[in-house]
Amino acid sequence: MDSSVLFLPELLLIASIMAIPGLYIFTENRNSYSICSNLSLSGALIFLVVSWYYPDTISMNRDVSVYIFYDHFKVDDFSQLFKIVFVLTALIVSLVSTSYFEENEPHQPEYFTLLLSSTLGMMVTASANDFLTIFIGIELSAFSSYAMVAFRKKDDQSTEAGAKYLLIGAFSSALSLYGISLLYAITGSLTFDGVEAFIDGLNSGVIEGDFTEVIFIASLFIMAGLGFKIAVVPFHAWAPDVYQGAPTPVTALLAAGSKAMGFVAVFRVFVFVLEAASEEWKLVLGIIALASMTTGNLAAISQNDVGRMLAYSSIAQAGYIMIAIPALSSEAMSGAIAHTLVHAFMKGGAFVVVGCVGAVGLGYNLDSYKGLAQRSQLLALSMTVCLLSLVGIPPFAGFISKFFLFYGTLKVGLAGENWLIILVLVGVLNSALSLYYYLKIMRYMYLYDPESSEDIVFPNTVRYISFGILLLLAVIFPLYWESLFELCREASAALIA
Amino acid sequence: MIDPINYLIFSSVLLMIGAYGVIKNKNAIVVLMSVEIMLTAANINFIGFSSYYHDLSGQVVALFVTAIAAAEVAIGLAILLSLFEQRDTIELDLLNRLRW
């Protein structure tokens, strides 16, 4: 079959982005929007899995990588793996949203349209093969999420979070665009291959001139934009406010999907394109990693709002993943990819529970988790597994991915780059430190009695999704860790090749 | 033929003006306008070096960035409008209800 059929998942999303506003005109039924979005997302998910991992069933050849749209769109192991994660998170968010909204919540069609267009932006980013496409993908996803964060117009916190997110986001994306323009000024090319060939030419002396400082400055500018998306330390200030203020399903999308998208962009730009740029640059990335895991964990300890605490823990997790980028070996990269994947599910799962507890009226404070185990064993257990996974306690999924990440980096460190060992050591110490605040939530859930004895019914959709995530983190990933790692290794091979 | 260093000087001055505006101003709309100046700075580089290299892709980027900037302002004004409806102000110093 023609290779452009691989664009079908994106087309499916585009179709329903256009269909949902149309449904709003033709039908009064509020469920139709969520059904349309769920259907298109599950269709895209099924097609992604089948067309890439079981290509024989629809008589396709799986080439190593496929280029469509005049080489602007690259489909390979790396992009497809992350597209599956994006679509899966969006599907979870879409399912949870229905039970999170009140019966007559206004602007539902807009919400689902924005959710789908945000996912579309993430998928475009994953497949981007030049700086223009990656920039447009990031912006498409970012603009949709600005509007989603400020989606509850009457909610004071939601609007404030939206305004902060928008202003900081616009500023940092302008900075990264300037960095891209500097790269274009030096290399005269916008494709990843062109820029990489130029840098290789500089290193091997084919191209004359000394552009080290300019490339360093351009990388700093680009890092400012991408660092905002993944919320690493100098660019993290928005994250706690936005995670706390936004409607919780949107927070789940930001923490799981948008963050993974930022890492996809970082991997593409810094591992594939700028890998050979300079030694100092690795040091900068190492310092960013160190600072963000320490700051994130220290700041999380004193938080009282669970959303805010998880936001700081998310900053720390970004720091862990960042240590693989200076290491740059294919093993460290596959560890980083694995941890990004698993992080999407653990953070998504935690925010599903947070959103559910908030939506039934218990609130978002630590106190509202008192005695959650007596109210719903399943939700408490799911939250516990997500949190233990975030710490990296065996046998949960977070342990496996974090182990690969640290092991891969440590190996490079022992092979000569000694300063990487410090990064790994600080990472391990930070994991121990983070146990404190995760255990605090668990203590509130299990050891205290509920503050009121009223009966609270949790919506069924949320319980099924929590159960699914629990199963994924506690059973499926630990049992099939080899195939998970195989997928990540293929992805990192596709990335570095 | 214009010496390409002029593009870089012009664009970096524009970038600095924009960044100064973002950091210094208290009014959210002025901040959005300053971000537009920063995007223009990047556009100057793209267009200038596009003509220097005789390569059209830089001009294509400039067109896309213009469209993106328009979308950004549309979303930005919408969010700031709903902020104004609630608080009767868009002073950034007053955005302090989300804090620890």
Residue-range domain boundaries for chain B: 4-94
> pLDDT of A294-346, one tens digit each?
999 999 998 888 999 999 999 999 999 999 888 888 889 999 999 999 999 99
- Cβ-defined contact of B45 to A181 (cutoff 8 Å): yes
pLDDT category, A271, cuts 50, 70, 90? confident
Residue A139 lies in a domain: no
- The verdict on domain B4-94 having CATH code 1.10.287.3510 is yes
Give the integer Cα–Cα distance in Å for A346 and A445: 18
DSSP states of A408-431: HHHHHHHTT-THHHHHHHHHHHHH
Give the integer Cα–Cα distance in Å for A341 and A475: 16
Q: State both tokens at B1.
A: 């033929």
pLDDT category, A123, cuts 50, 70, 90? very high
Let me know if A72 is exposed, middle or buried by CB neighbors in 10 A (0-12, 13-18, 19+).
middle
> What pLDDT was estimated at residue A1?
54
Higher pLDDT, B14 or A68: B14
**To the nearest whole percent, how much of chain A has pLDDT over 90?**
52
> What pLDDT was estimated at residue A276?
64
Residue A444's nearest CA partner among A397, A392, A387 is A387
Residue A11 lies in a domain: no
Specify the pairing of strand A65-68 against strand A73-76.
antiparallel
Q: State both tokens at A491.
A: 């992805």
Across chain A, mean pLDDT equals 89
* DSSP, res A365: B
Q: What is the mean pLDDT of residues B69-78?
A: 94
Say whether pLDDT at A59 is over 70: no
Beta bridge partners of residue A248, listed in sequence order? none
Q: Could you tell me the CA-to-CA distances from A281 to A284, A285, A412, A419, A436 in Å, in that order?
A: 5, 6, 17, 14, 33
Let me know if A59 is exposed, middle or buried by CB neighbors in 10 A (0-12, 13-18, 19+).
exposed
- The beta-carbon neighbor of A159 closest among B57, B60, B79 is B79
Report the complex ipTM.
0.96
Considering only CB atoms, which chain B residues are within 8 Å of A184?
45-46, 49, 58, 61
Residue A339 lies in a domain: yes
Q: State both tokens at A79.
A: 């992009």
Q: What is the mean pLDDT of residues A415-442?
A: 90
DSSP states of A248-280: HHHHHIIIIIIHHHHHHHHIIIIIIISTTS-HH
Cis amide linkage into residue A240, ω under 30° from 0? no
Residue A406 lies in a domain: yes
- Cβ-defined contact of B32 to A304 (cutoff 8 Å): no
pTM of the model: 0.93
> What pLDDT was estimated at residue B33?
94
> pLDDT of A89-102, one tens digit each?
999 999 998 888 87
Beta bridge partners of residue A305, listed in sequence order? A365
pLDDT category, A63, cuts 50, 70, 90? low
> pLDDT of A171-198, one tens digit each?
999 999 999 999 999 998 999 989 888 8
Q: Which domain holds residue A374?
A: 279-497
Q: What is the mean pLDDT of residues A364-372?
A: 86
Residue A334 lies in a domain: yes
Give the integer Cα–Cα distance in Å for A314 and A386: 13
> Considering its fold, how many domains does chain A have in total?
1
Residue A177 lies in a domain: no
Say whether pLDDT at A21 is over 60: yes
Residue A392's nearest CA partner among A437, A431, A422 is A431
Residue B8 contacts A, CB cutoff 8 Å: yes
Say whether pLDDT at A134 is over 90: yes
A398 within 8 A of A392, measured Cβ to Cβ: yes
pLDDT category, B4, cuts 50, 70, 90? confident
Residue that is written with structure tokens 């396709």 in the block: A60
Residue B68 contacts A, CB cutoff 8 Å: yes
Residue A128 lies in a domain: no
Q: What is the mean pLDDT of residues A114-130?
A: 94
Residue A470 lies in a domain: yes
Say whether pLDDT at A56 is over 80: no
**E strands of A119-268, at which residues?**
none
DSSP states of A305-342: BHHHHHHHHHHHHHHHHHTHHHH--HHHHHHHHHHHHH
> What pLDDT was estimated at residue A88?
94
Residue B4 contacts A, CB cutoff 8 Å: yes
Say whether pLDDT at A28 is over 80: no
Range with the poorest average pLDDT among A106-115, A443-452, A469-478, B89-98: B89-98
